[in-house]
Each structure stands twice: as C-alpha cells, then as structure tokens.
Chain A
C-alpha cells in the first residue's frame, strides 16, 4: 500500500473512530431518512408502484446526504483542525479520499437500517437480483460520498454554510441521482440486465470522473 493510501486509510479510521464515540451524526442521519420515508408515505398514501418506491429510496439517500456529508470538512474548519490536515506531510488527495471513505461508511451504516424499512413500508423488494443491487448501492453511495465530501470542502469559505451546502451538493450529485433512480427502477421491475449495463457503465464513469477531478483539484481547497 502506498503512503498516500495509508494516509487516506488513517484519516478515514480517525473520523470513523471519532464518529463511533459521538454517534449522534449517524443517528441523526438515520432519523432524518426515516422522517423522509414517512413524509413520502403520507404523500403517496401507501399507493405507490414498486419501481417508483424503489427509486424513492435514492431520493431519500440523496436528501440524507445533503446534511450527512456537509460536516465532513466544515467541522474540521470550525474546530480548527483543518490547518493540521493542510500541513500534514501527506498528499492532498489522500485527505480527500479518506473523507470519501468516511462518508461512504457512515452512509452505508444508515442504508443497512434504512433499506429494509423502506422495503417494508413502501412495499417493494430488492431480492430479484441482490448482487446487482448491492453493486449499485455500493457504487452509488461511493459516488454520493465523493460528491458530498467535495461539496463540503467547497462550502468552507462560504457565508451561511448550511444554506450554501445544498447549492454545491445538488448540481454535482444530481447526475448520479438520475442514473441511480433509473438503474434501481429497472432492477426492481425491469426486463433484465442489458438496459442496466449501459447505465451502470455511466454511473461508474461518473464516479471515476468526480473522484479524479475532485482529487486533482482538492489541493487548492486546502490552500485557498
């Protein structure tokens, strides 16, 4: 493992341990997701098709990410520890990748509890093709974490950060959301894997584009 990858793993581990002590952020994210499920249930009055309900799961995860990923860098800036990260003798991209992994883990924990609840309350099932569903959720969550971490870094110098964060998160995450909703809809109701394969390729391409673009320019957010 290279020194950059080791640094990224150390940063992710530091954040996960810190989160395990506090716990409230993951718990708050889960509660927010649950409230969103309830709100959607009220809106559709329980009468919703399986493909639409499965797509709603991504909308809920997207909205949960909107405030779940926001503190990834903002909290570092507020507590004054960002300076330490910016002068640490590690490549800048490893700081970014460490934060992406941390975001992926906390959102993954929320999803483990959220998805079975959604399946029960919105009356649909992901059991038709569990391998593809798992792959889609892993890539999708990683993509949203990559976008969310970069959005958090960009929000650091803004005034009224809580208002500005969605302005940064939305434009960069929506492309992934559109693909994820479509893929999930096809997986639940669809005619097979052939139409999903092309969309999955674009999703992976989006993940690679966002991670490489963000990793390449991340250095400038620490020095800005």
Chain B
C-alpha cells in the first residue's frame, strides 16, 4: 500500500470518527425539530456526495471519449456504483425523517421523486453496460450513456427551486440556513462522507481494474 493511500485511509478514519461524534454528541437538539435534526446530517451530505459521484461519472465518460483510455471508463462505472449507494442512503434516511416528522414515509415530493428517478436512471446504466459483451464497445456506448444521463442529476438538484416542495432550502447563496453548531456538523459530515466516497472509489476502481485484467488473461488463454 503506498503512502498516499495510507494517509487517505487514516485521515478518512479520523474525520469520520469526528463526524460521528459531532452528529450524536456535539450538535444540540434543534428548537423545533428536536433530536430529528441528527437525521439531516445522514441525509443531506450523502445526497450531495451522490451528485458528486454522478458528476465524476460524467467527467470519466468525457475523458474516455476524448482519450480512449479504459481506465476512465472503469472510474466512471465505479463511481456509478458508489453514487447508487449514497442515493440509497439518501432515500432511506429521507424516508425515516419523513415518517418521524410528517407521519408518512413517502410523500411523492418533487425532490423525493426526482432522487428516486436518479437512482433508477443510473441503475439502468449498470444494467445496460451488463448487456454489452464487447469491452471496447461497452466503454464507448456506456460513456455516451453516462454523458446524456447527467441532466437527471441537474433536475434532481434544482427540483426544490422549481416546484413547491416539503424540502427546506438549507444551502443558500448567503450560507447555511441553520444554527452555527448544526452548520459545522453538516460541513463535517460533508467532508467525512466525501472522504468515504474517495476511499470507496479507490477500492472499487482497484477491484474492477483487477477484474478487467483477470478477464483479459482468461480471454487470451481461451
């Protein structure tokens, strides 16, 4: 294991520990939401990191089309898997919040709906990629699919601005629309989950690259 990777893992472990401590001990109960505010830190940050993951897929896809280097396709596909994981966490934590605060787990709120569409959309890309056998064609067409799916991410992000929604607008151009301690905890959760994403992307990339090499060896022997 090289030194840079070791530092990344160590920093992620420390920051994640601080994030857990701030979420459950440092952040005080909110005036109207009470203890439910703690769910927010497990909900907002995974959502933003999921957007980052699908943005990474877009960048990886563009780079593959431009450079024709398979490593960018592997990064793009790996980022989809992790983006789906964080979208799932967002949906589940959102449902827990909605059930506790509004009494109904699923409200067909525009942000909920567009986030579910986002999850299905990127799951469809994985399903599509599995249906193409030729490795180079899969990379080429999968990258194109990764590019043209990105407007769904944009729609999910702006949905709270164009529809009447139950979701409060927490992040505004003027800063965070919450108390100082809660803002600090949210920022820490964003950094921690961003780092967890980086670690997961690194691990998934290495596993998928190894799997690619194994497949190449099998193909050359058959």
Q: A175-B117, A178-B114 are in contact. Are A157 and B151 (CB under 8 A)?
A: no
Q: Do B134 and A174 touch across chains, with their CB atoms under 8 A apart?
A: no
Q: Do B121 and A174 touch across chains, with their CB atoms under 8 A apart?
A: yes
- The answer, yes or no, to whether B127 is at the interface (CB within 8 Å) is yes
- The answer, yes or no, to whether B104 is at the interface (CB within 8 Å) is no
Q: A170-B121, A220-B140 are in contact. Are A164 and B162 (CB under 8 A)?
A: no
Q: Interface on chain B toward A: helix, strand, loop, or mixed SS?
A: helix
- The answer, yes or no, to whether B40 is at the interface (CB within 8 Å) is no
Interface segment among B16-24, B25-33, B92-100, B141-149: the answer is: B141-149
Contact with B along A183-224 (1 / 0, CB 8 A): 000000000000000110010001001100110010011001
* Complex contacts, B114 vs chain A, CB 8 Å: 175, 178
A150 to B149, CA, bound (A): 11
CB distance from A206 to the nearest CB of B (A): 6
- The answer, yes or no, to whether B200 is at the interface (CB within 8 Å) is no
A217 to B58, CA, bound (A): 13
- The answer, yes or no, to whether A112 is at the interface (CB within 8 Å) is no
* Complex contacts, B127 vs chain A, CB 8 Å: 164, 167
Q: Do A178 and B140 touch across chains, with their CB atoms under 8 A apart?
A: no
Q: Do B131 and A158 touch across chains, with their CB atoms under 8 A apart?
A: yes
B-side interface size class? 20 to 34
A152 to B143, CA, bound (A): 15
- Could you say which of B124, B138, B151, B152 contacts A168, with CB atoms under 8 Å apart? B124
- The answer, yes or no, to whether B172 is at the interface (CB within 8 Å) is no
A164 to B133, CA, bound (A): 13
Closest to A161 in B: B131
Q: How many A-B pairs fall under 8 Å by CB?
A: 89
Q: Do A157 and B148 touch across chains, with their CB atoms under 8 A apart?
A: no
A198 to B163, CA, bound (A): 10
A-side interface size class? 20 to 34
Q: Do B162 and A202 touch across chains, with their CB atoms under 8 A apart?
A: yes
A49 to B145, CA, bound (A): 37
- The answer, yes or no, to whether A160 is at the interface (CB within 8 Å) is yes
* Complex contacts, B155 vs chain A, CB 8 Å: 175, 178, 202, 206
Q: Do B141 and A157 touch across chains, with their CB atoms under 8 A apart?
A: yes
* Complex contacts, A172 vs chain B, CB 8 Å: 121, 148-149, 151-152
CB distance from A195 to the nearest CB of B (A): 9
Interface residues of B (CB under 8 A from A): 65, 110, 113-114, 117, 120-122, 124-125, 127-128, 131-134, 136-138, 140-141, 143-145, 147-152, 155, 158, 162-163
Interface residues of A (CB under 8 A from B): 150, 154, 157-160, 163-164, 167-168, 170-172, 174-175, 178, 182, 198-199, 202, 206, 209-210, 213-214, 217, 220-221, 224
Kindly list the 5 A-B residue pairs having the minimum CB-CB distance in the complex, ordered from nearest. A171-B121, A224-B140, A158-B131, A167-B124, A175-B155
- Knowing that A178-B110, A202-B162 touch, tell me 5 more A-B residue pairs with CB under 8 angstroms: A154-B128, A158-B132, A171-B152, A174-B117, A182-B163
